[in-house]
Structure 1
Amino acid sequence: MSIISKSKFKFSRGFAIAAGILASSLALSSCMDDIESPELPPAAYVSIYQGASAAPVMNIYANQNQVNQQPLGYTQVLPYSAYYTGNRDFRFSASNSATSLLEKTFQLKADSVYSIFVATKAEGIDAIISEDIWEEPTAEKAQLRFVHLSPDSENVYLEISGSTTPLVAESTFKSVSEFEEITPGNVTLKVKSTETDEVLIQTGTLEMKGNRVYTLILRGLQAETTGDKKLDIQLVTNFINY
């Protein structure tokens, strides 16, 4: 497989989004052919996942601009969207309150792709950011990473059926692994304790498709045995190479 360099990957992704915006604009009227299109400002692309089980549905702001149209609830994700670059002040607040649950500053670089994960902490919530860098997916290979967002779960590792080597050797709370190549097909994923090798939770049979980039998220609480807050895993698709 040819590997896209970090700079080439980010440029191609940003260019594709910008080109789509320009194409939509130019299609409005052929009369605009002679009008010079304004240069688009530099942008970063950010996705936000709400993984704090005790948090209320929330609104999220970046430098006072609300970034979600509907309140974001537990296990929900905002897809990648363009953000201004530089130091961005993110504020998370309950949807029915102006009081902040968390304020945090993240630096966003031009043509870079990020995921922000909201997580539980001892009191309140926290947010972590990961720069998302993956190889160009092909029909013969998919890619998968692992995110640990269960505050009362011990260190874990991730196993994939058909392999004797862990896909992710060790994961601590609020850690985000690198993207790893996997062979498309039907697989089972198991999250195991690094201390006891006990299976904490596993998926059923999943069809992992080529040309795709995935994130598997461990979320919820071991202490909960029923309801939405119990320990669970969630598969999110980051990117499809059409």
Structure 2
Amino acid sequence: MNFIKTISNTKHKKPFRAILPILILATLFLGSCLKDDDNNGYDSQTIVSAVASVNASPSMQGYDFYTDANTIVNTEQDFKYDNQIRYKRFYSGNREFVIFKAGTTSSPVLDSSLTIENGKFHTLFLAGPSDKLNFLLLNDGNLEKASSGKAKIRFVNLSPDGGELSLGIKDATALLASNKKFKEFSDFQETAAGSLKLDLTSSNGTVLKEITLVAQDGYLYTVYAKGFLSGNPDFKIDLNTLDHYSLAIGFLQN
């Protein structure tokens, strides 16, 4: 399995964007007869799923990333902070995910068995400080597109020391997500597509970060808090976004 970095500013023509959700679903289910990316010899033609991976652990440390003894990220392209791996096919059920410090194989820093649900997309986050690494696996469902004129947004708190965090659209009356503790997350919420000014706020209402998300009509996004509220200024608290349909482009090319 090859490591693929996402390109945040990739542009696609509107006709392609319009049919992308349909192509994604067709590829997931019609592609179920294809060989498992992990090459583990599974012979089922029905138990296929997809997993995207994100390193949200704030440190300079790079990692080698394996599943079921097969490489997701190799030593030449180690899994660094903020790196994203696009959706790749996985066979469903219990799968072993293992993290090593880059260039080592003797002692894993994280080894977990996680359950991949049949026929669904998933996002796997590497979270926590480097001395307390853990995984957070989220079920993305079927990436069903938002209603016309809308986008879907989900919030995840991956700031180890940020406390309870909320995400809202500037000047909106309701929050997209409220008072989420570390590794807590909201459901996907529909909101108007377009240029959205998003505010990350602390439990006392202090605005910690503002970003602008240009939300495409019908698209799905995860917005996650990352970094430290206090401590290392190189990894200060921030917001980052995942465009799930852009993450699925690599999946379509498998």
Could you say whether these structures have the same fold, taking a TM-score greater than 0.5 normalized by the shorter chain as the test?
yes
Letter in 1 for 2:64: N
Q: CA deviation at 1:59?
A: 1.4
What is the percent sequence identity of the aligned residues? Answer: 22
CA contact (8 A) 2:99 2:109 kept: yes
Q: CA deviation at 1:191?
A: 0.9
SS in 2 for 1:88: strand
Distance 1:122 1:93, change over 3 A: closer
Q: CA deviation at 1:176?
A: 2.1
| Alignment of structure 1 residues 51-62 onto 2, 5 Å | 51-54=56-59, 56-62=61-67
Q: CA deviation at 1:123?
A: 3.2
Q: Which residue of 2 aligns with 1:157?
A: 166
| Alignment of structure 1 residues 1-242 onto 2, 5 Å | 13=24, 15-17=26-28, 19=30, 40=45, 42-54=47-59, 56-69=61-74, 70-98=77-105, 99-121=107-129, 123-133=131-141, 134-194=143-203, 196-203=204-211, 205-224=212-231, 226-227=233-234, 229-239=235-245
RCO (CA 8 Å, sep 6+): is it higher in 1 or 2? 2
Distance 1:85 1:235, change over 3 A: same
Q: CA deviation at 1:12?
A: 8.4
Deviations 1:7-30 (A, max 9, x none): xxxx9855424646989xxxxxxx
Letter in 2 for 1:201: K
Q: CA deviation at 1:147?
A: 1.0
CA contact (8 A) 2:32 2:48 kept: no
Work out the CA distance in 2 between the residues paired with 1:225 and 1:105.
31
Work out the CA distance in 1 between the residues paired with 2:44 and 2:69.
24
CA contact (8 A) 1:219 1:232 kept: yes
Work out the CA distance in 2 between the residues paired with 1:201 and 1:183.
21
Work out the CA distance in 2 between the residues paired with 1:185 and 1:162.
15
Letter in 1 for 2:161: D
Q: Which residue of 2 aligns with 1:29?
A: none
Which runs of 4 or more aligned residues in structure 1 lie more than 6 Å from their structure 2 counterparts after TM superposition?
A: 20-23
Letter in 1 for 2:117: K
Deviations 1:176-226 (A, max 9, x none): 2111101012221111112x11111111x3322212111111101111463
Q: CA deviation at 1:127?
A: 0.6
Work out the CA distance in 2 between the residues paired with 1:58 and 1:123.
13
Work out the CA distance in 1 between the residues paired with 2:218 and 2:174.
23
Work out the CA distance in 2 between the residues paired with 1:121 and 1:74.
11
Letter in 1 for 2:209: I
Structure 2, unaligned stretches of length 5 or more? 1-21, 35-42, 250-254
CA contact (8 A) 2:168 2:177 kept: yes
SS in 1 for 2:125: strand
CA contact (8 A) 1:93 1:102 kept: yes
Work out the CA distance in 1 between the residues paired with 2:85 and 2:121.
13
